[in-house]
């Protein structure tokens, strides 16, 4: 009797741990601080994103090593090393796409393992589909910037990827690898990396068509392709797709001005608005919905990676509205997956990040403005946002004086819901996500 | 039979939710970034602090409002508003100690509710016991800087607390309130705030003695007092206690130098070392052990708050070794509580934070150093630390150009273990910790 009572519970427990499909979101550059900035603006200080309601949450350590000596840790990663940790479960050096630091040995990715197990696969991103995060799931190459055939040869400041040239027995650029990858759904930007001749003088677009891809470039093409279940390559922009939101009048963070008399001139507060240049392109939400519609009928489930890429890219630019709008886009795309999961409870949803970023909420005026007679202000760029709840939020970017802001080395949050999600708890390594998904999908 | 099998499980579940005692740690200024900095240095990038192994973890929103209009959110808090949220469950304005924004109405604290329910109480801190975090659990006053009787009158830059003067029917300064609080164990710094005459010309120390406190000022006094179970006021320094660690040769972050030719001169890397000026004072670990020993025999349990205060204070100074050493002190004090919990499983342990802080791990050299010919470096102060695992970690402080670094507005982590800990999950408000502890201790 005891055995009878216990056994079904164990069986149920095991069954619940196996997922048929996985939707893995990557918020590029998301950390606790970037999330708080976006939450304060969009939902108010007491708001909550849909993924923040997920039952299982963890913090992930971002581990990276030096290329020159992979025994030595590097304390700040990038989308290539972070993407590779998540996609392939290995700690590698910055810039590497699903290859080991030092040796360049390719390592199998979750997407490849899922495909090998008969699952369908998909990649959705607001960057070029050849950018570091999506590439980490599909390609294997020494340098993230080798996006198309013309990017392979060394430049004065970047060794690029001469060893990956097909003439040297390599697999070619990231676009060339994607063109023959067999990934069922590839949606994002990056047309310019495909519209190039390869080493044999054949355009990568043609290679993709020869491999069976239907190539679409706008929402109409995406809709027309709905009747067709074959592989699709949607390229909705030349490079990174435009962001959904911008600051009023293009406002972003700028250096604080101080008068000769020591008076701090605060940057004028502004609000965020829809980007007039977004055009008719599909949003991340629309691309996610389209991908899930195409993958829903997969006989044995699927693996889909969805990236909101420009949280990172706009943080680099010191553009809080850009990063807030793209965090909103992430939340909306996750809502689509949650609705899908309600219909298909055997779906595991994960929301992860590859590395931290520069923006910090700072007091304005300074905590010390009243106590000190000298000027008190941050040394970097500052934006003051009028939030939707009527507050005034000052965001400081203080990591690079003259150019783009830098990634930071903080641990990053992870959210999970669905079968296999319970392993997302406490403090994990980014690379544990590979093992968690592999186990959830029973891949080997 | 089914009922018999099910009922004991339910009863156990309910019983497990009630804690006899609570040890609440506050890491002042702790956020994901400050934790990662300390972990990388102390334990290596793949290390783990003891509280990071706790079964229940959450992120807490730091909610603060404007004093002038408490309907309007402020996006960066301080130790007073954060301490009050945790201690008393209300969202207040910066600087307020267990009083409501706008009105100044006092709000009951967890420590007071626990005392009212017959539990013993304790406060341990590396700051003055009159500083904002400990004060938030014991005192009620409009301004955090009213630590002693001489701090009550307005200054040109701070209105201070004239309405809280005893002559005006108030409860007096924080030290005066502590002296008659009846808190069983008060250990920390802040002798200078007690060694002052009150409005009647009587020293606050004498008031404390009259109220039954045994006053000790060193480790010998603390040891001697072990045989005595009466109230103890341990004041081991005039103000904030010295920190356990400093940078080699006093090194901390400093502005990056750039030559006329645009060459970036990196600050010299350094290691952390024990602070030669720490002296024979009890460490946070020793004070925590002493407090738990005194409180262990409490007939109906206790409420103990333990603060590692100088994670914040050293982050303000741009001193990474200071903040790393004090995070180590927090971890060591938590270990003492975990050992206590092993003997007393009816103890709930929480580790919380009041607000985020300035330090960020940045890449060194810049991510763009190779791609750009102009100098790439952070605009604020930078320290480069040689970690114990042999890496080089660059820490940037970029929130204030001329004076102390600022608090930041990020959400902060919470860790919990023991009866009642399961409520610590997902995204909560800082003020939810008040309700979680109140429920765990069955207080009303």
pLDDT range class, residue A16, cuts 50, 70, 90: low
Mind telling me how many Å the CA of A424 is from chain B's nearest CA? Answer: 11
B298-316 exposure pattern, b = at least 16 Cβ within 10 A, e = fewer: beebbbbbbbbbbbbbbbb
Query: Tell me, what's the pLDDT at A402?
Result: 93
Q: Which residues of chain A does B157 touch, with a Cβ-Cβ cutoff of 8 Å?
A: 370-371
Taking alpha carbons only, the member of A210, A208, A170 closest to residue A191 is: A208
Helix axes of A432-440 and A79-88: crossing angle, nearest 10 degrees: 30
Query: Tell me, what's the pLDDT at B227?
Result: 84
Q: Which residues of chain A does B263 touch, with a Cβ-Cβ cutoff of 8 Å?
A: none
pLDDT digits (tens, 9 = 90+) for B13-66: 444 589 999 999 999 999 999 999 999 999 999 999 999 999 999 999 999 999
pLDDT digits (tens, 9 = 90+) for B94-145: 999 999 999 999 999 999 999 999 999 999 999 999 999 999 999 999 999 9
Q: What is the mean pLDDT of residues A383-409?
A: 97
Q: What's chain B's average pLDDT?
A: 94
Token match 């708001």: residue? Answer: A47
Neighbour count for residue A402 (Cβ, 10 Å)? 14
Q: How far apart are CA A155 and CA B18, in angstroms?
A: 65
pLDDT digits (tens, 9 = 90+) for B59-95: 999 999 999 999 999 999 999 999 999 999 999 999 9
Query: Tell me, what's the pLDDT at B218?
Result: 95
Q: How far apart are CA A415 and CA A425, in angstroms?
A: 9
pLDDT digits (tens, 9 = 90+) for A360-381: 999 999 999 988 888 899 999 9
The two three-digit tokens of residue B136, written as one number: 């938030």
Query: Tell me, what's the pLDDT at B182?
Result: 98
Do A410 and B52 make contact, defined as CB atoms within 8 angstroms?
A: no
Q: What is the mean pLDDT of residues A71-93?
A: 98
Query: Tell me, what's the pLDDT at B151?
Result: 94
Do A361 and B75 make contact, defined as CB atoms within 8 angstroms?
A: yes
Look at residue B10 and tell me whether its pLDDT is greater than 60: no
Q: What is the mean pLDDT of residues B151-173?
A: 91
Q: What is the mean pLDDT of residues B362-372?
A: 92
Q: Which residues of chain B does A386 touch, with a Cβ-Cβ cutoff of 8 Å?
A: none
Look at residue A58 and tell me whether its pLDDT is greater than 90: yes
- Tell me which residue in B48, B361, B401 faces A427 most closely, judged by beta carbons: B48
Phi first, then psi: give them for residue B56, nearest 5 degrees. Answer: -115, 130
The two three-digit tokens of residue A327, written as one number: 């965090």
Taking alpha carbons only, the member of A240, A254, A292, A290 closest to residue A398 is: A254
Query: Tell me, what's the pLDDT at B13?
Result: 40
Look at residue A12 and tell me whether its pLDDT is greater than 50: no
- Tell me which residue in A363, A374, A403 faces B376 most closely, judged by beta carbons: A403
Which residues are paired to A187 by β-bridges?
A: A124, A234
Among B51, B64, B73, the residue to mutate for chain A (most A Cβ within 10 A): B73
Query: Tell me, what's the pLDDT at B251?
Result: 98
Do B36 and A61 make contact, defined as CB atoms within 8 angstroms?
A: yes
Mind telling me how many Å the CA of A363 is from chain B's nearest CA? Answer: 6
Residue A418 and residue A349 in contact, taking contact as beta carbons nearer than 8 Å: yes
Taking alpha carbons only, the member of B354, B397, B359 closest to residue B28 is: B354
pLDDT digits (tens, 9 = 90+) for B279-307: 999 999 999 999 999 999 999 999 999 99
pLDDT digits (tens, 9 = 90+) for B397-426: 999 999 999 999 999 999 999 999 999 999
Do A401 and B375 make contact, defined as CB atoms within 8 angstroms?
A: yes
Q: Which residue in B has a C-alpha nearest to residue A66's C-alpha?
A: B391
Do B399 and A394 make contact, defined as CB atoms within 8 angstroms?
A: no
Q: How far apart are CA B381 and CA B253, in angstroms?
A: 5
Walk me through the domains of chain B, giving residue ranges and CATH numbers.
20-170+242-440 (3.40.720.10)
The two three-digit tokens of residue B79, written as one number: 């130790």
Q: Are strands B232-235 and B360-362 parallel, antiparallel or unpaired?
A: unpaired
Q: Report ipTM (2 d.p.).
A: 0.95
- Tell me which residue in B48, B391, B409 faces A361 most closely, judged by beta carbons: B409
Query: Tell me, what's the pLDDT at B11?
Result: 37
Long-range pairs, A12-16, Cβ under 8 A, ≥24:
A16/A419
Q: How far apart are the first and last CA of chain A?
A: 36
Q: What is the mean pLDDT of residues A28-55?
A: 98
Residue B244 to residues B241, B280, B316, Cα–Cα distance (Å): 9, 11, 16
User: B390: left (phi > 0), else alpha (psi -120 to 50), else beta?
Assistant: left
Q: How far apart are CA B362 and CA A400, in angstroms?
A: 10
Look at residue A199 and tell me whether its pLDDT is greater than 80: yes
Describe the strand order of the beta sheet including B56-61 as a list of residue ranges. Answer: B214-216, B232-235, B185-189, B120-128, B302-308, B21-27, B347-353, B412-417, B56-61, B426-429
Query: Tell me, what's the pLDDT at B16?
Result: 52
Tell me what percent of the residues of chain A surpass a pLDDT of 70. 96
Q: What angle do CA A330, A334, A340 make, to 5 degrees?
A: 155
The two three-digit tokens of residue B313, written as one number: 């204070």
Look at residue B269 and tell me whether its pLDDT is greater than 80: yes
pLDDT digits (tens, 9 = 90+) for A251-297: 999 999 999 988 899 899 999 999 999 999 999 999 999 999 999 99
Token match 């670990």: residue? Answer: B285
Do B75 and A393 make contact, defined as CB atoms within 8 angstroms?
A: yes
The two three-digit tokens of residue A417, written as one number: 């819901």
pLDDT digits (tens, 9 = 90+) for A425-435: 999 999 999 99
**CA dihedral defined by B305, B311, B315, B320, rounded to 10 degrees?**
180
Query: For every residue of chain A, which 3-state class applies, written as one string?
Result: CHHHHHHHHHHHHHHHHCCCEEEEEEECCCCHHHHHHHHHHHCCCCCCCHHHHCCEEEEEECCEECCCCCCCEECCCCHHHHHHHHHHCCCCCCCCECECCCCCCECCCHHHHHHHCCCEEEEEEEEECCCHHHHHHHCCECCCCCCCHHHCCCECCECCCHHHCHHHCCCCCHHHHHHCCCCCEEEEECHHHHCCECCCCCEHHHHHHHCCCEEECCHHHHHHHHHCCCCEEEECCCCCCCCCEEEHHHCCCEECEECCCCCEECCCCECEEECCCCCCCCCHHHHHHHHHHHHCCCCCCEEEEEEECHHHHHHHCCCHHHHHHHHHHHHHHHHHHHHHHHHCCCEEEEEEECCECCCEEECCCCCCCCCCCCCCCCCCEEEEEECCCCCEEEEEECCCCCCCCCCECCCEEEEEECCCHHHCCEEEECCHHHHHHHHHCCCC
Query: For every residue of chain B, which 3-state class applies, written as one string?
Result: CHHHHHHHHHHHHHHHCCCCEEEEEEECCCCHHHHHHHHHHHCCCCCCCHHHHCCEEEEEECCEECCCCCCCEECCCCHHHHHHHHHHCCCCCCCCECECCCCCCECCCHHHHHHHCCCEEEEEEEEECCCHHHHHHHCCECCCCCCCHHHCCCECCECCCHHHCHHHCCCCCHHHHHHCCCCCEEEEECHHHHCCECCCCCEHHHHHHHCCCEEECCHHHHHHHHHCCCCEEEECCCCCCCCCEEEHHHCCCEECEECCCCCEECCCCECEEECCCCCCCCCHHHHHHHHHHHHCCCCCCEEEEEEECHHHHHHHCCCHHHHHHHHHHHHHHHHHHHHHHHHCCCEEEEEEECCECCCEEECCCCCCCCCCCCCCCCCCEEEEEECCCCCEEEEEECCCCCCCCCCECCCEEEEEECCCHHHCCEEEECCHHHHHHHHHCCCC
Q: Which residue in B has a C-alpha nearest to residue A407's C-alpha?
A: B362
Mind telling me how many Å the CA of A257 is from chain B's nearest CA? Answer: 12
Q: How far apart are CA B148 and CA B176, in angstroms?
A: 7
pLDDT digits (tens, 9 = 90+) for A141-182: 999 999 999 999 888 888 889 999 999 999 999 999 999 999
Active site amino acids of B: 79
pLDDT digits (tens, 9 = 90+) for B187-231: 999 999 999 999 999 999 999 999 999 999 999 999 999 888 899
Q: How far apart are CA A396 and CA A415, in angstroms?
A: 26
Residue B214 burial by Cβ neighbours in a 10 Å radius (0-12, 13-18, 19+) = middle
Least confident residue range of A151-160, A336-345, B319-328: A151-160
Mind telling me how many Å the CA of B231 is from chain A's nearest CA? Answer: 36
Q: Which residue in B has a C-alpha nearest to residue A371's C-alpha?
A: B157
Query: Tell me, what's the pLDDT at A11?
Result: 37
Do B73 and A40 make contact, defined as CB atoms within 8 angstroms?
A: yes
Least confident residue range of A310-314, A332-336, B165-169: B165-169
Mind telling me how many Å the CA of B122 is from chain A's nearest CA? Answer: 29
Do B401 and A36 make contact, defined as CB atoms within 8 angstroms?
A: no
- Tell me which residue in A1, A379, A403 faces B398 most closely, judged by beta carbons: A379
């Amino acid at each position: 009797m005891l055995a009878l009572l216990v056994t079904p519970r164990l069986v149920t427990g095991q069954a619940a741990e196996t997922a048929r499909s996985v939707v893995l979101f990557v918020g590029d550059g998301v950390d606790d601080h970037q999330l708080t900035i976006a939450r304060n603006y969009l939902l108010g200080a007491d708001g909550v994103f849909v993924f923040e309601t997920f039952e299982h949450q963890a913090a992930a350590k971002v581990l990276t090593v030096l290329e020159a000596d992979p025994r030595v840790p590097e304390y700040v990663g990038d989308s290539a090393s972070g993407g590779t940790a998540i996609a392939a479960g290995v700690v590698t050096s910055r810039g590497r796409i699903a290859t080991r630091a030092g040796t360049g040995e390719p390592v199998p990715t979750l997407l490849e393992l899922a495909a090998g197990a008969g699952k369908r696969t998909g990649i959705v991103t607001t960057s070029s589909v050849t950018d570091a995060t999506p590439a980490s799931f599909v390609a294997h190459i020494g340098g993230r910037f080798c996006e198309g055939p013309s990017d392979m040869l060394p430049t004065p400041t970047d060794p690029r990827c001469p060893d990956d040239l097909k003439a040297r027995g390599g697999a070619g650029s990231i676009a060339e690898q994607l063109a023959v990858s067999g990934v069922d759904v590839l949606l994002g930007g990056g047309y310019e990396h495909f519209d190039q001749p390869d080493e044999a003088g054949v355009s990568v677009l043609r290679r993709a068509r020869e491999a069976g891809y239907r190539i679409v470039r706008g929402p109409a093409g995406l809709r027309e392709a709905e009747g067709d279940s074959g592989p699709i390559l949607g390229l909705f922009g030349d490079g990174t797709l435009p962001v959904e939101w911008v600051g009023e009048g293009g406002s972003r963070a700028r250096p604080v001005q101080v008068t000769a008399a020591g008076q701090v001139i605060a940057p004028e507060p502004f609000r965020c608005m829809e980007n007039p240049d977004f055009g008719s392109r599909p949003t991340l939400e629309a691309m996610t919905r389209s991908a899930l519609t195409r993958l829903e009928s997969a006989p044995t489930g699927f693996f889909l990676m969805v990236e909101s890429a420009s949280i990172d890219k706009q943080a680099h630019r010191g553009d809080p509205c850009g990063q807030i709008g793209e965090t909103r886009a992430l939340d909306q795309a996750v809502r689509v997956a949650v609705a899908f999961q309600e219909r298909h409870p055997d779906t595991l949803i994960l929301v992860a990040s590859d590395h931290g970023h520069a923006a910090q909420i700072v007091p304005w005026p300074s905590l010390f403005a009243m106590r000190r007679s000298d000027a008190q202000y941050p040394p970097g760029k500052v934006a003051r946002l009028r939030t939707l709840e009527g507050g005034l939020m000052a965001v400081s970017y203080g990591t690079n004086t003259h150019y783009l802001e830098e990634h930071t080395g903080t641990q990053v949050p992870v959210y999970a819901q669905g079968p296999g999600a319970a392993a997302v708890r406490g403090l994990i390594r980014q690379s544990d996500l590979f093992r968690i998904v592999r186990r959830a999908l029973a891949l080997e």
